Amino acid sequence: MKFKQRVIIFFTFLTIFTLLGNSLADNGTKENQTAVFEDLFEGFVYYADKQKTGLKSVKKRFAGTLDSHELGMEILKTLIEGPQLVHLEAIWPKDTKINSFFISDDGKAYVDLNLEQSMIENMDTRSELLAIYSMVNSLTVNIPKIKMVKILIQGKDALTLAGHIDLECFYKTNMLIVT
Alpha helices in the chain (DSSP H): 2-38, 68-81, 117-120, 125-142
Q: How crowded is residue 144: how many other Cβ atoms within 10 Å of its Cβ?
A: 9
pTM of the model: 0.75
Is 152 in contact with 119 (CB distance < 8 Å)? no
Question: Tens of pLDDT along 49-62?
Answer: 998 899 999 999 99
Rg (C-alpha) for the chain, rounded Å, is: 26
Locate the DSSP E strands across the chain. Answer: 40-49, 55-63, 88-89, 97-103, 108-114, 148-153
106 CB-side CA count, 13 A: 1
Question: Tens of pLDDT along 28-40?
Answer: 544 444 444 567 8
